[in-house]
Amino acid sequence: MSTAKSDEALATAILLAVFEMHSCTTADGWMHHASGIRALMRLRGPASHLHGFGRALYIAYRSTLVTSALVAGEQCFLEEPEWQSLNKQIALDNAKQPVSSVYTDITERAFREVVKLPGLIQRSALLARSKGTHGHFKLLDEVLATQAALRGIHTEFSITISTLRAGHDMCKGFIGPFPHHFSDGFSALSMQGIRSATVILNYLVIILDPSQRVSAKAENRIIADRTQDDAAGLQASLSTSQSTGPRLVIESRINPETRESLATDWMDRIAATMGMEGVRISLVED
């Protein structure tokens, strides 16, 4: 059992999963690997991912767990209290490092909100199927709270980026161990992930509270100018085909038609956008 739960076993599983994401030998092969990695991480427990190689493996793959949860229409286990505590501890430890970046701290807080999205979407779909109102307002409150948190983080991130860039206008090349283009690319992708998550939350607001449709769609139009997302090639619906209201539809971007080669930064983009780069979610009006 100790061998099965080892860092080496987890690393091997993650390598196979990344290979499958790039090669797509079957349409959903990467999802099977993600399911196995999820089970292995839960078996190991959060404490196994707090330090050393175990932490590095967790950080490298956790965003893909968000992607797979969205595609599967399931709650992401990383929103459970013990895993949220792990994420908080990782952020605290990062802040103590000499090369700590304010970008990292803000992104860690954003990730702790983004991991709630799969569960909010799942509960919204279940509520739509039940045709009932039990839990409706509680769910709406949770959606709005997550949305408010991400809006605040987005504002803070924007101010931080502007301030740091203004201070480095005359500086070229490397800043410590990281080149400027790395920080710029990381911050841009993190912002993209936050914006994509905000768009999804606005979709949920429209579904749960049609009276907010106008303001939610207006905000999404502003965000869409930055994300340039579309709704082509939709593959999976999170509501019944008999639905007469708006419904969420999910497309996995990890498939034989859209996969990218090993020579690209695709995995980095999925990780930096907190899993949002791996899916395309849109609102369909029936």
- Residue 61: inside a domain: no
Of residues 285, 231, 241, 257, the one with CA closest to residue 27: 257
State the pLDDT at residue 158: 86
Structure tokens at 237: 């619906």
Strand order across the 236-237 sheet: 236-237, 247-252, 279-284
Q: Which domain holds residue 165?
A: 76-284
Mean pLDDT of the chain, nearest integer: 85
State the pLDDT at residue 162: 77
State the pLDDT at residue 235: 38
User: Phi first, then psi: what are they for 28, rounded to 5°?
Assistant: -120, 20
d(CA 273, CA 187): 9
d(CA 261, CA 275): 18
State the pLDDT at residue 177: 42
Number of domains in the chain: 1
Given a contact cutoff of 8 angstroms between Cβ atoms, the answer to whether 252 and 3 are in contact is: no
d(CA 161, CA 176): 17
- Residue 28: inside a domain: no
State the pLDDT at residue 115: 98
Spatial CB neighbours of 25, under 8 Å, sequence gap ≥ 6? none
Question: In sequence order, what are the beta bridge partners of 204?
Answer: none
Residue 103: how many other CB atoms lie within 10 Å: 16
Question: What confidence tens digit (pLDDT) does each residue in 87-118 have?
Answer: 999 999 988 887 667 778 899 999 999 999 99
Mean pLDDT, range 16-24, rounded to an integer: 93
Band (166; pLDDT cuts 50, 70, 90): low
Judge whether residue 67 has pLDDT over 50. yes
Structure tokens at 143: 């959606």
- Residue 62: inside a domain: no
Task: Look at 67-76, 82-91, 131-140 and tell me which has the smallest mean pLDDT.
Answer: 131-140
State the pLDDT at residue 94: 87
- Residue 82: inside a domain: yes
- Residue 110: inside a domain: yes
- Residue 161: inside a domain: yes
- Residue 6: inside a domain: no
Judge whether residue 232 has pLDDT over 60. no
State the pLDDT at residue 240: 41
Question: What confidence tens digit (pLDDT) does each residue in 172-229 have?
Answer: 544 444 444 445 677 889 999 999 999 999 999 999 999 999 999 999 988 876 554 4
- In our burial notation (b when 16+ CB lie closer than 10 A, e otherwise), range 112-132 reads bbbbbbbbbbbbbbebbeeee
- Residue 31: inside a domain: no
State the pLDDT at residue 133: 66
Q: What is the DSSP letter of 210?
A: G
Of residues 112, 123, 73, the one with CA closest to residue 279: 73
Tell me how far apart the terminal alpha carbons of the chain are, to the nearest angstrom: 50
d(CA 161, CA 224): 20
